Amino acid sequence: MKNRLIITISDINGSKQYNVHEFIKHAILWVLLMVVLTATGTYFYVNMLNKKISGLNEKNRIVKQENRKLNIEKIDLQNKIKDEKEKLLSMNEKLQEIEEAIGIGPDINATFFDRVDENVKKIKETKRKNIQKLEELKAQTEKKIEIEKITALQKAFLVNGIPNGKILNYRRVSSKFGYRVHPVTKRKDFHAGLDLSASNGTPIYAPANGVVEYSDKKGAYGNFLLIAHSYGFKTAYGHLSKYAVKSGEYVSKGQVIAYVGNTGRSTGPHLHYEIRYLNKWVNPKIFINWDPKNINQITDKVTKVHWSGIFKQIQKSIDLVK
């Protein structure tokens, strides 16, 4: 009987005893042990999974938090870029106003920052001139005295070497020199010359002696002509119908050089006329209306031209002739 397990079950009907073999007893114990171990292992495994899930949830929370920060930084960066663009546009408009007030166009090859530097220099120079007003008045008086001494021969050199006078019979000025809203692009830009409205085929005359640098198509200009004159001056002609001269050819003041057309980016027959001095645009209207008999009429209005140096060079040329 020592190898048997006796199980007694009592109820209202009495008690009953059952003999269980020792082997079965051990089996039951092992089953109970396995159940306990399985339950314990399951508890620890579930607990481990809960910790991992908690860790993943925490990482997910951190990632979401970082994403929110990145999105905020992205929005801030976009706003800063937008603000900088608006500031740059505002600065560009102010710079255009300064250039327009000064009365000259920007350097042909100048960047925005070059233009800023150039205008800062001009503003500083203006302040310096205001401080030294008495000295300037004296210098201007001496300059006028020097100009009044110009001889008829010097005036002849000036008139033939520097662009001046009416270059064609035009009906009206359809677009002025300076900033404007472009009739085709509808955007504000710098208009480097005068648009002179005239009939198709109207002859164009050379405003001074010179040599043809370029005569061919050139982008929005259409048929384009560029003439180099003396003392750093050049004239440019756009939208031509045809040429009367070619590259490398010397031209004389009053000679027919081309004919009005409607080529390139144009809304009708007209001449786009530019005058450049040392690679900077100047207002052609002043030169068209200039009466060479009155030298002060041009020297006082176009201050960016180094007139005294030009007069000295003219005198040197006259001395060589003598």
Model confidence over 112-151: pLDDT tens digits?
666 666 766 776 777 777 777 767 666 666 655 555 556 6
Q: Are 151 and 254 in contact (CB under 8 A)?
A: no
Q: Are 248 and 258 in contact (CB under 8 A)?
A: no
> What predicted TM-score, i.e. pTM, was given to this entire model?
0.55
Residue 29: what are its φ and ψ, rounded to 5°?
A: -60, -45
Per-residue pLDDT reduced to its tens digit, 164-218: 999 999 999 999 998 877 776 677 778 889 999 999 999 999 999 999 999 999 9
Q: How many CA atoms lie within 13 A of 98 on its CB side?
A: 17
Would you list the domain boundaries of the chain? 133-321
Give 237's strand partners: 225, 273
pLDDT of residue 13: 73
DSSP label at 289? S
pLDDT of residue 148: 53
Q: What is the dihedral of CA 75, 80, 83, 85, to 10 degrees?
A: -100
Two structure tokens written together for 192: 């480097």
Two structure tokens written together for 33: 């042990």
Per residue of the chain (322 residues), give pLDDT as tens.
455 566 676 777 777 666 656 656 667 777 778 878 887 888 887 888 888 888 888 888 888 888 888 888 888 888 887 777 677 667 766 666 666 665 555 555 666 666 666 766 776 777 777 777 767 666 666 655 555 556 677 788 888 999 999 999 999 999 999 887 777 667 777 888 999 999 999 999 999 999 999 999 999 999 999 999 999 999 999 999 999 999 999 999 999 999 999 999 898 999 999 999 998 999 999 999 988 777 777 888 888 888 888 888 888 887 776 5
Q: Are 210 and 229 in contact (CB under 8 A)?
A: yes
pLDDT of residue 1: 46
133-321 to CATH, choices 2.70.70.10, 1.20.120.920, 1.10.287.70, 3.30.200.20: 2.70.70.10
pLDDT of residue 218: 95
CB proximity list for 273: less than 8 A, separation 6 or greater: 167, 193, 194, 195, 196, 235, 236, 237, 238, 284
Angle, helices 112-131 vs 22-102, to 10°: value is 50
pLDDT of residue 26: 67
Host H or E run for residue 122? helix 112-131
Three-state secondary-structure class, residue 301: coil
Of residues 208, 153, 148, the one with CA closest to residue 321: 153
Q: In 10 A of CB 179, how many CB atoms?
A: 15
Q: Are 253 and 263 in contact (CB under 8 A)?
A: no
Classify strands 256-260 and 203-205 as parallel, antiparallel or unpaired: antiparallel
Cα 4 to its chain centre, rounded Å, is 103
- Identity (one letter) of the amino acid at 106? P
